[in-house]
């Protein structure tokens, strides 16, 4: 069954989209990672404009994180105060990212910049995963030694604030800055930013694991939501049909992934995912080196 | 010898009549002209749109060749030109093309160069030559860029040049078809059926087809372009609702919990 994507401006088999969504959802269910960083590059490979892929992916993340964020909120696993500080940063970052896209669009370089960002991101994520899966997991002592240069910088930041739910005291600037980074990434690349949020909240802000997942989902939901609205307003690049097709696939895939993941050994799977991510990265990099099929590209897309 | 006064009066009357006649009738007096017929004058773009093919048929004098041209209004369009910067391909400048139809397709009974003089190809803007000559570019633009533009449009199925794709049926009939790809914009398209004899255009029949978005498709794309903020809000609300529904459905199905909750326990 073919569906015409009104904003992307192409017609595509809807089962292909659901299938891609399901595959990425399955992986995110098995590994407990968000799928944004896999979904956007796959959509680009299907022929969807990078900025439409990223913006629609942000919309899809809203759907993917709603249920989890709500469940965690009910169980009291969300540090609302911390989440709100991050959200302020997230909205600012999303706005910065949205305007960066607008400027890049005008110069005709939005596609190549998004692709380059992805090559860097996939290389980092893939390498970290591969190293993590090949070496012993980091023990708690090494993780909480707390004398890195980042720790020393953070102690000096002003506006020290107490976050009751997490039981930590830190500068209000840390969650805001973290939010800004995640917001920029959400707008430019259409990722939720879990790969950045979870380690930072765990190792840097020292929040308990229980609160980390809930709070990151909470902030992801609203940052992705705000970014979707800003992208739709400024760049008109959110395709709702695309987002819904992906959502159907990814939610089914994630449920299967969670069930399957319990019966599989983590290490081999993680190596497999790392190789997949690195493979995507190499493919995108090689595509960038090749002479484009056409040296002319329509400005503004539509 | 006296001339009858009736003659100049008659001549004047004839002239006056000729001037008031519609222009078409004057141009093609006795000979039967080309006449084309389309099954519809409207193409509707719905949510499952993946292109439409329209059959065009008509009558034409037996001794004429036929060229059928599909084109959309001509507009100014800007492209970015890519070039190598370091190891990657970046946009290195902009090129503005004027007088470019979004869609342009030409089909004919025989190769156009064999049936129509070059001057008429340019005058009536048919064939590849007619198109290339009618597109305006800034003077310093390398001509290869116009070829590039046409190539990209051919790949998107927006342009096509098929010589021999107009078929003669029963001597005085012709038929052909045109495909409107998914990328065809809404708007009015012109279909000119041109009868050609001895290298010259004999008669033209012009028809119009309107492409229109309808239903959900029209609503969604209209909202996305004109009311981006509202569209964004709708997109977020729909996504949240869909996310909650999916969560509820799967929560009711056995021990599996939503993936986020899973990670905690």
State whether B99 and B46 are in the same domain: yes
pLDDT at B14 (0 to 100): 55
**Residues of A with CB below 8 A from B50's CB?**
2, 4, 11
Q: Stretch A152-165: mean pLDDT, rounded?
A: 73
Indicate whether B235 belongs to any domain.
Answer: yes
State whether B108 and B143 are in the same domain: yes
Last residue in a domain, options B198, B213, B228: B213
CB contact under 8 A, A288 and B89: yes
Q: Stretch A4-23: mean pLDDT, rounded?
A: 87
Give the Cα separation of A6 and A299 in Å (integer).
18
Give the Cα separation of A172 and A178 in Å (integer).
10
Q: By CA distance, what is B265's nearest residue in A?
A: A210
**Residues of A with CB below 8 A from B226's CB?**
none
pLDDT > 50? residue B199: yes
| Option in A11, A66, A241 nearest B244 (CB) | A66
CB contact under 8 A, B48 and A32: no
In this structure, of A87-91, A161-165, A205-209, the range with the lowest mean pLDDT score is A161-165
Q: Stretch B156-179: mean pLDDT, rounded?
A: 88
State whether B120 and B239 are in the same domain: no
Q: Measure in Å the smallest separation between the Cα of B39 and chain A Cα atoms.
A: 24
**Residues of A with CB below 8 A from B146's CB?**
none
pLDDT at B106 (0 to 100): 93
State whether B122 and B169 are in the same domain: yes
Q: Say which CATH number the domain at B145 has.
A: 2.60.40.1930
pLDDT > 70? residue A176: yes
pLDDT at A293 (0 to 100): 77
**Residues of A with CB below 8 A from B149's CB?**
296
Print the domain residue range for B149.
Answer: 35-213
Indicate whether B96 belongs to any domain.
Answer: yes
| Option in B151, B228, B239 nearest A59 (CB) | B239
Q: Stretch A104-120: mean pLDDT, rounded?
A: 88
State whether B233 and B123 are in the same domain: no
Task: Give the list of residues 6+ apart from residue B2 with CB closer than 8 angstroms, or none.
Answer: none
State whether B242 and B136 are in the same domain: no
Q: Give this complex's ipTM.
A: 0.83
Indicate whether B87 belongs to any domain.
Answer: yes
CB contact under 8 A, B79 and A298: yes
State whether B41 and B79 are in the same domain: yes
CB contact under 8 A, A240 and B79: no
Q: For residue A28, give the nearest of A257, A183, A264 by alpha carbon.
A: A257
Indicate whether B19 belongs to any domain.
Answer: no
Indicate whether B73 belongs to any domain.
Answer: yes
> Residue B131, class by beta-carbon neighbours within 10 Å (0-12 exposed, 13-18 middle, 19+ buried)?
buried
3-class DSSP string for chain A = CEEEECCCCEEEEHHHHHHHHHHHHHHHHHHCCCCHHHHHHHHHHCCCCHHHHHHHHHHHHHHHHHHHHHHHHHCCCCCHHHHHHHHHHHHHHHHHHHHHHHHHHHHCCHHHHHHHHHHHHHHHHHHHHHHHHHCCCCCHHHHCCCCCHHHHHHHHCCCEEEECCCCEEEECHHHHHHHHHHHHHHHHHCCCCHHHHHHHHHHHCCCCHHHHHHHHHHHHHHHHHHHHHHHHHHCCCCCHHHHHHHHHHHHHHHHHHHHHHCCCCHHHHHHHHHHHHHHHHHHHHHHHHCCCCCCEEECCCC
CB contact under 8 A, B89 and A225: no
State whether B242 and B140 are in the same domain: no
pLDDT at A92 (0 to 100): 95
Q: How confident is the model at residue B101 (pLDDT cuts 50, 70, 90)?
A: very high
Q: By CA distance, what is A72's nearest residue in B?
A: B261
Q: Stretch B47-73: mean pLDDT, rounded?
A: 88
**Residues of B with CB below 8 A from A253's CB?**
none
Between B31 and A200, residue with greater pLDDT: A200
pLDDT at B15 (0 to 100): 58
Spatial contact of B29 and B202, defined as CB atoms under 8 Å apart: no
User: Torsions phi, psi of B99, nearest 5?
Assistant: 65, 40
CB contact under 8 A, A65 and B50: no
pLDDT at A139 (0 to 100): 47
State whether B246 and B199 are in the same domain: no
Q: Measure in Å the smallest separation between the Cα of B56 and chain A Cα atoms.
A: 25
In this structure, of B9-18, B117-126, B210-219, the range with the lowest mean pLDDT score is B9-18
Give the Cα separation of A70 and B258 in Å (integer).
10
Indicate whether B260 belongs to any domain.
Answer: no
State whether B209 and B224 are in the same domain: no
Question: Mean pLDDT for chain B?
Answer: 81
pLDDT > 90? residue B237: yes
pLDDT > 70? residue B180: yes
Indicate whether B53 belongs to any domain.
Answer: yes
Indicate whether B173 belongs to any domain.
Answer: yes
pTM for the model: 0.78
Q: By CA distance, what is A5's nearest residue in B?
A: B47
Spatial contact of B26 and B18, defined as CB atoms under 8 Å apart: yes
Q: Stretch B106-123: mean pLDDT, rounded?
A: 90
Interface mutation vs chain A, best among B187, B236, B250, B252, most A CBs within 10 Å: B236
Neighbours of B166 (CB within 10 A): 23
Last residue in a domain, options B213, B230, B246: B213
**How many domains would you assign to chain B?**
2
CB contact under 8 A, B220 and A298: no
Q: How confident is the model at residue A87 (pLDDT cuts 50, 70, 90)?
A: very high
Query: Tokens 């002209």 belong to which residue?
Result: B33
Query: Tokens 């012009």 belong to which residue?
Result: B206
Q: Measure in Å the smallest separation between the Cα of A113 and chain B Cα atoms.
A: 9
State whether B160 and B225 are in the same domain: no
**Residues of B with CB below 8 A from A70's CB?**
244, 247
State whether B225 and B186 are in the same domain: no
Strands B74-85 vs B88-101: parallel, antiparallel or unpaired: antiparallel
Q: By CA distance, what is A216's nearest residue in B?
A: B260
Q: Measure in Å the smallest separation between the Cα of B193 and chain A Cα atoms.
A: 30
| Option in B94, B231, B236 nearest A108 (CB) | B94
pLDDT at A17 (0 to 100): 92
3-class DSSP string for chain B = CCCCCHHHHHHHHHHHHHHHCCHHHHHCCCCCCCEEECCCCEEEECCCCCCEEEEEEEECCCCCEEEEEEECCEEEEEEEEEEEECCEEEEEEEEEEEEEECCEEEEECCCHHHHECHHHHHHCCCHHHHHHHHCECCCCCCCHHHHHHHHHHHHCCCEEEEECCCEEECCCEEEEEEEECCCCCCEEEEEEEEEEECEEEEEEEEEEEEEEECHHHHHHHHHHHHCHHHHHHHHHHHHHHHHHHHHHHHHCCCCCCCHHHHHHC
């Amino acid at each position: 069954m073919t569906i015409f994507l009104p904003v992307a401006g192409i017609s595509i088999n809807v089962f292909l989209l659901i299938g891609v969504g399901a595959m990425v959802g399955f992986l995110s269910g098995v590994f407990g990672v968000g799928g944004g960083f896999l979904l956007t590059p796959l959509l680009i490979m299907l022929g969807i404009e990078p900025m439409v892929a990223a913006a629609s992916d942000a919309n899809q993340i809203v759907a993917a994180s709603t249920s989890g964020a709500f469940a965690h909120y009910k169980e009291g696993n969300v540090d609302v105060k911390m989440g709100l500080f991050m959200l302020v940063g997230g909205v600012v970052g999303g706005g910065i990212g949205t305007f960066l896209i607008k400027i890049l669009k005008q110069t005709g370089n939005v596609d190549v910049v998004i692709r380059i960002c992805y090559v860097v991101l996939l290389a980092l994520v893939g390498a970290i995963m591969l190293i993590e899966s090949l070496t012993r997991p980091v023990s708690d002592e090494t993780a909480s030694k707390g004398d890195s240069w980042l720790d020393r910088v953070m102690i000096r930041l002003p506006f020290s604030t107490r976050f009751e739910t997490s039981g930590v005291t830190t500068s209000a600037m840390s969650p805001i800055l973290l939010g800004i980074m995640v917001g920029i990434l959400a707008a430019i690349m259409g990722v939720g930013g879990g790969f950045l949020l979870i380690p930072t909240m765990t190792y840097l802000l020292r929040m308990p694991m229980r609160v980390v997942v809930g709070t990151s989902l909470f902030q992801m939901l609203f940052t992705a939501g705000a970014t979707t609205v800003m992208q739709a307003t400024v760049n008109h690049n959110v395709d709702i049909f695309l987002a819904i097709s992906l959502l159907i696939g990814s939610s089914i895939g994630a449920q299967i992934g969670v069930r399957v993941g319990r019966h599989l050994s983590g290490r081999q799977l993680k190596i497999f995912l790392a190789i997949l991510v690195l493979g995507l990265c190499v493919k995108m990099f090689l595509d960038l080196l090749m002479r484009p099929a056409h040296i002319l590209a329509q400005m503004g897309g539509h | 010898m006296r001339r009858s006064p009736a003659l100049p009066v008659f001549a004047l009357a004839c002239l006056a009549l000729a001037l008031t006649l519609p222009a078409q009738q004057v141009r093609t007096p006795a000979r039967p002209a080309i006449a084309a017929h389309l099954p519809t004058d409207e193409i509707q773009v719905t949510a499952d749109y993946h292109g439409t093919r329209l059959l065009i048929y008509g009558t034409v004098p037996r001794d004429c060749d036929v060229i059928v041209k599909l084109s959309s209004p001509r507009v100014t369009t800007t492209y970015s030109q890519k070039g190598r910067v370091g190891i990657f391909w970046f946009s290195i400048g902009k090129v503005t093309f004027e007088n470019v139809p979004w869609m342009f397709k030409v089909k004919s009974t025989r190769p156009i160069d064999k049936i129509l003089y070059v001057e008429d190809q340019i005058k009536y803007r048919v064939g590849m030559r007619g198109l290339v000559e009618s597109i305006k570019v800034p003077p310093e633009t390398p001509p290869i860029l116009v070829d590039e533009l046409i190539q990209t449009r051919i790949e998107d199925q927006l342009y096509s040049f098929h010589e021999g794709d107009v078929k003669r049926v029963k001597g005085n009939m012709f038929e052909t078809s045109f495909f409107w790809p998914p990328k065809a914009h809404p708007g009015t398209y012109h279909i000119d059926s041109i009868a050609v004899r001895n290298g010259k255009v004999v008669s033209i029949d012009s028809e119009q087809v309107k492409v229109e978005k309808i239903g959900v498709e029209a609503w969604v794309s209209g909202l996305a372009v004109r009311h981006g903020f509202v569209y964004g809000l709708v997109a977020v609300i729909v996504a949240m609702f869909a996310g909650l529904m999916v969560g509820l459905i799967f929560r009711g199905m056995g021990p599996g919990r939503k993936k986020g909750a899973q990670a905690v326990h």
